[in-house]
Structures are given as C-alpha cells and as structure tokens.
C-alpha cells in the first residue's frame, strides 16, 4: 500500500483486505483540525465530527478477486457507494468495462462553487455522537490568488492480471535473496544507491529511526546519521526491494539518466509481494529555483502468487515529459510482468481554452493517442471514453495475443 501527501491533496492506495474507506472521516477531520482547511459541518474544530470540505474526491478500484473476504464497506461496490453517498454531496458512481470480465469502478464528486452550494448550517459543537447525520459538501473552495491556474492533471493506471509465472518469481523473497547473494557487495550497494538516487551526492540525509515507537517515528526524534550508516541500517525488505527494482526493470521506467532527481523507495515482503514508490521531480526542478514546479509520483504493487497474481502501476508523471510517451511507459511496464490481460485507465483534465466547448481537440489529448492501443504482444479488446465536466477518462482492456 502507498500514500502520497501533497500540500493540497492526499492519495491513498491500499491493498488486500484493508479498510480504506473507514479512514476517510478521520482524514477529513485531520484536514480540518491539523491542516486548517475550511469546514462547513461543525461550529468549531472542537466538534468531534468536524470534517474539512474537500474540493473533490475520487475513489476507484478494479473488481475484487475475493469480494466476500473484504471487510467493512468493501464487500461490494454498492456498499462502497452507499458509504460515500452517506458522506458526500455531489457524488456520482460509474462502472467501466465488461460486467462479465475485468471492469473498473469510479466514484467522484463534482466541484461546485460556493455560490451554487451554500454552506450547511453548522452543527452544535456540544454534540458527541459519532454518528454524523449531515453530508459533507464538496467543492466549496475559497477563491484565492492562483486558484484559477490549476495545473493540468493526469493519471495513468495499469492493472495487470495473470502474470507470467516465471517473471512473477522475481517478487518472492527466496528468489530475490538468491539474486542478491550473487551480486558482489559493491554492486548491491551501487544498485541501492542508484535506486535511491545517489543520496550522498545531493545534499540529502537519511534519517533512520531504529527500534522506534510510533511517537518516535512521528516526532522526528531519530538521530540524523550519514548515508553510509543509513545504508547499513536498512531492513532486509527495503534492501531486497531495491535489488528487485533494479533487476526487474522498474527502476528504468523513469531512469535516473533521464530523471536525475527521481527516487525509489521499495520493499519486498515475506514470503512474497512487492511495493515501490517513486518520486519524480519535474525536469529542471532542482534546489530552490522551482518552488512552483511540482514533483510527481509513481507506485507499483505486486501480488505474485499464481492463484491471484496481480500487479498495478500508477503514475501522474505527465505524458511526454522528457520525450517519453505514455504508450512507451505502458509497454515498458507490461514487458516486466507479461500479464495475460490488463486494463489501462487514463485520466486527464480537459483543455480549458475558451473554445474547448465549441471545438473538441482530440489530437491534443494524450488519452486518445492511438499508440496507446498498440501494445506489442496484446490485442486491445475495449476502448471506452467517458467525458466528465472537467476530465476525460479513457479505459482500455487488453488480452495477450
């Protein structure tokens, strides 16, 4: 599982039987109380139910393999939608793809201006009931300088099923350990340094909390140490995760040769399974020169067991950055796992030019790029395009030829 925290948004992607939506109301409370975002459902932050008003919300997933083993509201899409509808106003739920095969679900709220949606009457601050009865409005964002200059946003997600069994073995602890043992220590060290982006060369610091408790992790009580000591104090899971990142090819999705500031944090689970997060600063966004240049992320999660083999890849690195097309990225990732079938979802903001409504400009949209239909070794079975108020969504489904 992974979480990405930006100043203005949070992305949480969780695996297995985690209960993601059960953390939603706590998230909204944290956003109000600890981050200071506006709220409209309570008189003050003292109210136990206080919840920040989000600008917008997305919740999505592929159909589960074992829905009956899920917990909380995650046993069915219907229950998840009910939970979200009970929480938010302005929500819409969609199913994309074949009902009798791999399909994908999306719930999203639509931003509305405060002029259109007046704030709800604040609740009494002395109530202590944990049962919230009012829905949280979305989209009420105060106008501030720069609000109209929101950068383009795009997200690519590749969900792969039925992984090649031989390639899936890379993501087992036993095999990864064998691979690591064949590397001379200097090579292993070099692989880790490459994956972490030569931390020692960029004025970075490794902050290690050995044997720390939760409060220590949070409070930043760990000792600042140099990179050499940090390498020695890594865990087996992180060390082997780095080896796997390098040997399987994931470290080359956004290679440091093209993205010199990119970083990877990977972990190999026991007895198997793998997760990695990548942070990719925008080109030339070095040091203090580009405070407004965003960093992007990518994340991978792998479940290699044959009975439920699955891998996901997600990124918001803009297509075309450093000359790399989205179709190149998809091909690279698919070649790592060689799945029997996979889906691709691509979200991108609409062109906000004045003539956007009158003159559609499909050629300018990466999501409809025909090259994304031609992944070598696969036949595209479906391509479904959804047009929302401010986003395009393109869903594709591929099967091995």
Partner 1 sequence: TFSPAPGSLQLTINHDIAADLDSTNAFEGPEKLLEVWFAPSPTALPPTARDNGLKGVSPSTWEGMLDMVNCKVLSIVKSDHVDAYLLSE
Q: Is 85 in the site for partner 1 (CB under 8 A)?
A: no
Q: How far is residue 161's CA from residue 399's CA, in Å, rounded to a whole number?
A: 10
Within residues 337-376, the interface with partner 1 by CB under 8 A covers none
Nearer to partner 1, 275 or 327 (CB): 275
Compute the least distance from the CB of residue 311 to partner 1, in Å: 8
User: Under rule CB under 8 A, how many of the chain's residues touch partner 1?
Assistant: 133
Three-class SS state of 136: strand
Stretch that binds partner 1, among 121-129, 142-150, 372-380, 381-389 (CB under 8 A): 142-150
Q: Which of 93, 120, 199, 385 binds partner 1 (CB under 8 A)?
A: 199
Query: Binding to partner 1 by residue 318, rule CB under 8 A?
Result: no
Is 176 a binding residue for partner 1 by CB under 8 A? The answer is no
What does the alpha-carbon distance between residue 132 and residue 130 come to, in Å, rounded to a whole number? 6
**Residue 63 binds partner 1, judged by CB under 8 A:** yes
Stretch that binds partner 1, among 120-128, 242-250, 274-282, 352-360 (CB under 8 A): 274-282
- How far from 275 is each of 105, 178, 312, 368, CA to CA, in Å? 23, 19, 10, 29
Structure tokens at 318: 């803009």
Supply 3's token pair: 């979480």
| Helix pair angle (185-196, 236-248), 10° resolution | 80
Instruction: Output 5 or 178, the one with its CB closest to partner 1.
Output: 5
Report the chain's terminal Cα–Cα distance, integer Å. 31
Assess contact for 42 and 123: CB atoms under 8 A. Answer: yes
3-state class (DSSP) for residue 383: strand
Residues 280 to 299 in contact with partner 1, rule: CB under 8 A? 281, 285-288, 291-297, 299
- Collapse the DSSP code of 282 into the 3-class scheme (helix H, G, I; strand E, B; otherwise coil) and give the result: coil
- Rounded to a whole number of angstroms, the minimum distance from the CB of residue 374 to partner 1 is 26
Stretch that binds partner 1, among 191-199, 251-259, 356-364, 372-380 (CB under 8 A): 191-199
> Interface with partner 1 includes 217 (CB under 8 A)?
yes
């Amino acid at each position: 599982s992974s979480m990405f925290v930006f100043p203005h948004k949070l992305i949480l992607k969780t695996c297995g039987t985690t209960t993601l939506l059960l953390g939603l109301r706590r998230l909204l409370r944290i956003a109000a109380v600890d981050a200071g975002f506006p709220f409209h459902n309570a008189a003050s932050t003292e109210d136990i139910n206080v919840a920040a008003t989000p600008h917008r919300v997305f919740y999505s997933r592929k159909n589960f393999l074992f829905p009956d083993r899920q917990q909380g509201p995650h046993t069915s899409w219907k229950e998840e939608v009910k939970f979200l509808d009970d929480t938010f106003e302005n929500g819409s739920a969609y199913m994309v793809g074949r009902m009798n095969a791999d399909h994908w679900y999306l719930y999203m709220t639509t931003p509305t201006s405060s002029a259109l949606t007046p704030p709800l009457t604040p609740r009494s601050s002395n109530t202590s009931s944990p049962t919230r009865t009012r829905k949280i409005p979305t989209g009420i964002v105060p106008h501030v300088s720069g609000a109209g200059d929101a950068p383009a946003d795009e997200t690519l997600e590749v969900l792969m099923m039925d992984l090649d069994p031989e390639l899936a073995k890379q993501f087992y602890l036993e095999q990864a350990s064998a691979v690591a043992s064949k590397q001379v220590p200097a090579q292993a060290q070099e692989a880790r340094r490459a994956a972490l982006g030569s931390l020692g060369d960029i004025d970075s610091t490794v902050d290690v909390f050995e044997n720390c408790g939760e409060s220590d992790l949070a409070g930043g009580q760990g000792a600042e140490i140099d990179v050499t000591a940090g390498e020695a104090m890594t865990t087996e899971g992180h060390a082997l995760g780095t080896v796997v990142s390098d040997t399987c090819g994931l470290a080359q999705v956004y290679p440091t040769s093209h993205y010199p500031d990119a970083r990877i944090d990977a972990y190999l689970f026991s007895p198997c399974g793998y997760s990695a997060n990548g942070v990719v600063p925008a080109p030339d966004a070095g040091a203090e020169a580009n405070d407004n240049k965003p960093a992007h992320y990518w994340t991978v999660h792998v479940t290699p067991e044959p009975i439920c083999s699955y891998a996901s890849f997600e990124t918001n690195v803009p297509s075309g950055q450093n000359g790399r097309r989205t179709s190149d990225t998809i091909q690279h990732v698919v070649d790592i796992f060689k799945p029997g079938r996979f889906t691709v979802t691509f979200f991108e903001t609409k062109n906000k030019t004045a003539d956007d409504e009158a003159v559609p400009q499909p050629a300018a949209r990466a999501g409809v790029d025909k090259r994304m239909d031609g992944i070598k070794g696969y036949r595209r079975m479906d391509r479904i395009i959804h047009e929302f108020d401010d986003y395009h969504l393109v869903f594709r489904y591929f099967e091995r030829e």
